[in-house]
Structure 1
Amino acid sequence: MQLAFGDYVLDSGRRELKRNSEQIALEPQVFDLLLFLVQNRDRVVTKDDLIAAVWNGRIVSDSTLTTRINAARKAVGDSGGRQILIKTYARKGIRFVGDVRSDTPGAGSAEPPEQVQEMPPALLPQGQAESSVGTASARVTSRAALDWGGKPTVAVLPFNNMSGDQEQEYFSDGITEDIITALSKYRSLVVIARNSSFAFKGAADVRQVGLSLGAEYLVKGSVRKIGQRLRITVQLVETEEGHHLWADRYDRDLQDLFKLQDEITTTIAARIEPEVGAAERLRVDRKAVPELHAWDFFRLGTKHFYKSTAADNLEAQRLFRRAIELDRSLAEAYGFLSYAIVLSMVYFDAEPNEERLNEAVVIGKRGVEHDDQDGLIRFMYGRALLAQKAYGDALAELETAIDLNPCLAVSYCGLGDSLTYEGRISEAIPYFQKAIDLSPYDPLRWAFYSYRALAHIFAQEFDLAADWAQRATRVPNAHYWAFSHRVSALGHLEYAEDLRVAIGELLQRKPDFTCRFARKRLFYVKNPEQLELYIEGLRRAGIPE
C-alpha cells in the first residue's frame, strides 16, 4: 500500500519513504511510527497507542518516544516548532494532519509493524523509565512529547570533576543531583531524570546528547577543588542551535561542605529558570499565530506581564484568558491572571474595588486547585489574598510557596512584604535580601528593591529607604511606585536638592500623582499609621493633596 502526501510517498509493503523518487533512510521504529500515524490520521493518537503498536506494549521512556517522533517529523520536512504535518495536541496525543492520497481503500486501520528495533545500546540511557528525584516533573521528555503541553525541557549533565582526584567525584555528582532536584520544583519546566542524564557522563558532544535526551536546554558545568577553595562553573545551552544562553562562576571557601553545596545549587537553580523563561518568551514571539497552543498563549502573556506597563498588563490578561479557554486545567495561566488583575489595581489604571479583588482571589484559588504543588502559583494566590488584606492567609500561602520551591526569589520578596504590613519589619528585611541574592537579574528585581524601601519607610529608616528606592529606579521598566517611595523617604529627610530631582522623575512618569491618588492605590495597607507615615512624607516633599 502506498500513501502519498505532498512530495512524499510512504510504501508499507516495501517499507520505504521516498521524496520525489529519492529514498529517505529511516530507522525501523521511526518508519513504523510514521506509518501508524498516517494510517490513523482520522484521530488523535495517544502515547499508549504508539507504544502498543510500535513497541508491542513494552515499557518505553518518554525520551525514546520523543526521539522517534522528532525523527519522523524531520524525515517529512516538519519540526516540533512548525507542526505542519505531525501536530501535538497538549495532554492528548499527536495526529498526522496532512492531506493523504492512497492507492487502496480502507487506509483508516493500522496493521501491526513488521519488525521492532530497540535504540542502540550506546544511545540508550540507563533507567529510562525511572525518576531518581521522585517527581513526575523529572521524567525524560521534550516539547514534542505528549504529556507536557509545550513546557520547555531541561537536562542537567553530570558536572565534570576537574580536581584530578577521583575521590572528589562524589561532590561533583552531588552538585548535579541537587540541581536536578531544585529545578524539578519549578512546575513550568520538565526536567530529565537523573539516571537518564548520568548515562551520558563524559560525553563530548553535548548538543547531540541533548537531542538524544529530547531536551531543549542543557545545563553543564565543572567543579574544581584546590586546597580549601572551590570553583564551580555552570553554563546553560540551547540545544537546537547550540547557543550559550548564560554562564557564571562561583568561587567559595570550603567550610561546611553540605551547607556550601545547598547554597550553590539553590543559587544556580534560581538563575537557570528565569533564563529559560526569557528564551521561551522569545521563541513563542517568533511563532505564527495559527500555530499557537495554550502554553504558547501563556508564554506570550508572561512576555507582556514582565514589561510592567498598563497596556501590556491588559494584553497579558487577554492572553492568559485565551490560554485558559484552550486548556481549562492550565494552572500557571490562572496564577498569572490572578496576579495581573491585582497589579492592574496597584500599579496601573484599574479601579480598586471589591469585585476585582474577589475575581483575583477566585482565579488564584482555581490555579491552586489545579496544581497545589506549584510554588509560583501559591505565591500569586498569596498576593491576591494580601490585596484583600487577608494577611494571615497570605502569609500561610507564601510560606507554603517557599516550602515547595526554596529557589523561587519572588516568594521571599512577597513574604517580606507581607510581614512588613504586619509590622514585623525586622523579620521582613532578611527575606528581601534573600530574594535579591537568589535572583540578582530577575526581570522584577526593581520590585525587590522597591518593597524593601517601603519597609524601611515604615520602620522610619528613611536614609535606607531612599537608597533602596534609588536602586529600584535604576532598573529598566521600574514602576513609578519606586520613584514615589524615594520621594516619600526624601520628604521625611528634607533633602531639598535630591527632592527636586526625585519629584521631577516621579512626575515625568506619573504627571497626575497626588497624595489622594497614593492613598487610593495603597488600598492593601491595613495599618493606618503606616499609610499616614507614607503620605506625610509625600506632603513634606511638596506633592499636592
Structure 2
Amino acid sequence: MSDQRAPNLSVGDYWIDRGDERVIGPKGPVRLGHKAYQVFCALADRRGRLLTKDALFETVWDGMFVSESALTTTIRELRRALDDDPRHPHYIESVYGRGYRIVATVEEVDGPIPTNGVPHVEPVQQKPTVEAGQPPRLAVAEFRDAAVQDRAPYVGATMREEILLGLSRFREIQVVDAALSVSEGSERDYRLDASFLPDAKGLKANVRLQRLGDGGIVWAETIPIDSDGLGAGVETIVRRIVGAAFPALDQDLSIGIGDAAGTLFDRYIVAKRQSIDAQDRATAEDAARQLEAIIAEKPNFALAYPPLVRLYHIDYNYTALGSSGPTERRRALDLAKAGLAADKSHVHSYTVLGFCHLYHEEYDQARSCFDHALERNPFNPERLNEVATGMTYLGDFDRARALFEQSAGIQPFADDASQEDLGRLALLEGDIDTAMEHFGKVTVASLWSQLCAAATLRHRDEKAGAKAIKRWMERVHAGWHRPIPPTDDEVFAWFRFHHPYKDDAGKPLIDLVGKALNID
C-alpha cells in the first residue's frame, strides 16, 4: 500500500518533518504547539499563495467556532518560534483583514531530514511574483510621527491602524501589514507611507503612494490637521487618505497593464476597463465574453462578476440601446448572486445585487444589500454613490443626500456623474432650479443627464427644451439596438425600464420626461 502522507518540506531555513510532526531549524527541533505546527504546514502547502482566515479555521480547527484571537495567538507563537519579524517578514506575511501567506522558498524534500539542525543560509530575497488571479499587494509602512510626539503622541500608530482597516475593505488589493522596500516588491506592488510634521494650526500629514516596481510616486498629498480637533477628525482624515489612495492605485494598475492579457488578474483588469470604456456594441460584447470566460475558468474570482452584471443591466454600456431585457436581467441576477457567494466581503457584490433586486422590484432585498455594502466599506466614494443612488430609487432622499455629501467629503471634486446624481435628486425633491444648475455643470453628458437637462429646460422654455429633446431623441435613434428606430412609447418604456423607482418615488422625473416625450 502506497504512503499517502504529504511530503516533507523545506521552508527557508526550516524543515517540516511530517513523519514526526515536528519542525527542524538551524539549531535543531523547534518547540511548537500542535495548532502552530498545523498552521505552518497549511501555509507551507500553499507555496506562497494566500491562505484565508476562514480556510485556516476550517482546516486547523475543523470548523469549530473559536474567536479570531485563537488564530492570531497561534500566528504569534509561530513567528516567535521562527524568529520572524512581522514588520519585515521572512516567513509569514499578513494580508491585512484576509489571511496569511508564506514568503520564504518552499520545496519538497526527498530523503531523511537532519535532526541536529541544518546549516544556516541567509535567506535570499527574491522579488515576489504575482500569482494568477491575485490582486496587487499594498504594503502600509510605519507612519513617522517623531516630530509631533509632544503635541500628538501616538498619532502615527493610531492613524496607521485605522487606514489598514479601511484599505482592507477593498477586495481589489491585498493589504500587507509590513514595510516593503523597492527591492522587495514586485512590479505590481505598492507602498503607502506617511510622515507627520508640525504646522501653523497644529500638524500636517505628508502621505504618498509609491509603486515598488520602479519606485515611482503614484499619488501624494499634504493634509493639514487641526491638533485641537484631532480626536474627532481622525475618521475624516482616514476617509480622505483611503478614498484617494485606492482610486490612484487602481488607475495606475490599469495603465500599467495596458492591453496585455497575462495573468487572470491582468485579463480581468483589461476586460473591466474595456467594459467601462466601450464605445460600440462589438467592444462591449467582447468584454462580456472575456468576463464570462474568466468566471467559467475560476468561478470564485469574485471581482469579475460586477462589471459583467453591469453590461447586462445597461444595454452593454449603452452601446446597444434597448438590448437589455428580461433575459439579460435574469442572467444579471444569477451572476450577482454567484459573485456574492464567491466572496461575501466584496462590497461591490452587494451593490450590484442591490440594483438587481431593484430591477426585479424586490425593494426590501435591495435595501438590505445597500445597507450591507455601506456597513462593510464606508471609505469608497464610488460605492457610497452607488448606495446613495439606490436610496434615491427607494425614495429615501434624505439618506441619499447624506451619502452623496459623505462621498464628497472623501473625494471633494464633483465630476460629471456626481453632478448628474445631485441634479436628479434635486429634481425628485421638486427643486427645478437647483437641478438645472447641476445639469448645467456636466461637461460630457450621459444619456440620462442629457435627458434630464432637456426635460427640465422644456419645463422652463418650451421652444428651447423641444430642440434639446429632439437632439436627445436623435442620439437614442442612432444608438438603438436594431435598425428600425423606436417609437416614442418604446423610448419612454425603455426609460422606465432603466429607472426602477419604488412606488411614487420617481413621479416628478417620470412625469417631466413623459411630458417632454408627449406621452399621455
1:332 aligns with 2:295: no
> What residue is the counterpart of 1:537 in the other structure?
512
> What residue is the counterpart of 1:483 in the other structure?
450
Q: Classify the secondary structure of the residue corresponding to 2:92.
A: coil
Task: List runs of 5+ in structure 1 lacking aligned partners.
Answer: 1-45, 61-87, 93-117, 201-205
What are the Cα deviations for residues 441-497 of structure 1, in whole angstroms up to 9, with x where unaligned?
A: 79xx533332332222221111121222233x325xx52211112112222233866
What are the Cα deviations for residues 155-186 of structure 1, in whole angstroms up to 9, with x where unaligned?
A: 12222326354663510222222212211111
Structure 2 CA distance for aligned equivalents of residues 285 and 397 of structure 1: 34
Q: Report if aligned partners of 1:137, 1:190 keep a CA contact under 8 Å in 2.
A: no
User: Counterparts in 2 of 1:41-440, with a 5 A limit?
Assistant: 51-52=10-11, 55-57=14-16, 125=88, 129=92, 131=94, 134-136=97-99, 144=128, 149-161=133-145, 163-165=147-149, 168-193=152-177, 196-197=178-179, 206-208=181-183, 210=185, 216-226=189-199, 228-287=201-260, 289=261, 292-307=262-277, 309-311=279-281, 312-344=283-315, 347-348=318-319, 349-440=321-412
CA shift in 2, pair 1:457/1:303, >3 Å: same
Q: Report if aligned partners of 2:357, 2:365 keep a CA contact under 8 Å in 1.
A: yes
User: What one-letter code is carried by the residue in structure 1 that aligns with 2:338?
Assistant: R
The CA deviation at 1:52 is 4.8
Q: Classify the secondary structure of the residue corresponding to 1:256.
A: helix
Structure 1 CA distance for aligned equivalents of residues 471 and 14 of structure 2: 66
The CA deviation at 1:529 is 4.8
Structure 1 CA distance for aligned equivalents of residues 392 and 239 of structure 2: 25
Moved over 6 A (4+): 88-92, 118-124, 137-143, 542-545
Structure 1 CA distance for aligned equivalents of residues 459 and 336 of structure 2: 37
Q: Classify the secondary structure of the residue corresponding to 1:160.
A: coil
The CA deviation at 1:519 is 3.4
CA shift in 2, pair 1:208/1:441, >3 Å: farther
How many matched pairs?
Answer: 427
Q: 2:443 aligns with which of 471, 474, 478?
A: 474
Q: Report if aligned partners of 1:462, 1:493 keep a CA contact under 8 Å in 2.
A: no
Q: Classify the secondary structure of the residue corresponding to 1:151.
A: coil
> What residue is the counterpart of 1:42 in the other structure?
none
The CA deviation at 1:353 is 2.4
Task: List runs of 5+ in structure 2 lacking aligned partners.
Answer: 1-5, 17-22, 26-46, 52-80, 105-125, 479-485
Structure 1 CA distance for aligned equivalents of residues 82 and 475 of structure 2: 60
User: What one-letter code is carried by the residue in structure 2 that aligns with 1:340?
Assistant: L
Structure 1 CA distance for aligned equivalents of residues 255 and 199 of structure 2: 40
Structure 2 CA distance for aligned equivalents of residues 137 and 270 of structure 1: 25
The CA deviation at 1:343 is 2.2
CA shift in 2, pair 1:146/1:153, >3 Å: closer
User: Counterparts in 2 of 1:26-37, with a 5 A limit?
Assistant: none
Identity %: 17
What are the Cα deviations for residues 115-163 of structure 1, in whole angstroms up to 9, with x where unaligned?
A: xxx9999998169636495532799799945767331111122223263
What is the CA RMSD across the aligned residues, in angstroms? Answer: 4.0
Structure 1 CA distance for aligned equivalents of residues 310 and 440 of structure 2: 25
Structure 2 CA distance for aligned equivalents of residues 256 and 403 of structure 1: 25
Structure 1 CA distance for aligned equivalents of residues 357 and 508 of structure 2: 24
The CA deviation at 1:227 is 6.0
Structure 2 CA distance for aligned equivalents of residues 532 and 124 of structure 1: 56
User: What one-letter code is carried by the residue in structure 1 that aligns with 2:214?
Assistant: E
- TM-score normalised by the chain length of structure 1: 0.67
CA shift in 2, pair 1:437/1:489, >3 Å: farther
> What residue is the counterpart of 1:454 in the other structure?
424
User: What one-letter code is carried by the residue in structure 1 that aligns with 2:508?
Assistant: L
User: What one-letter code is carried by the residue in structure 1 that aligns with 2:417?
Assistant: A
Q: Classify the secondary structure of the residue corresponding to 2:223.
A: strand
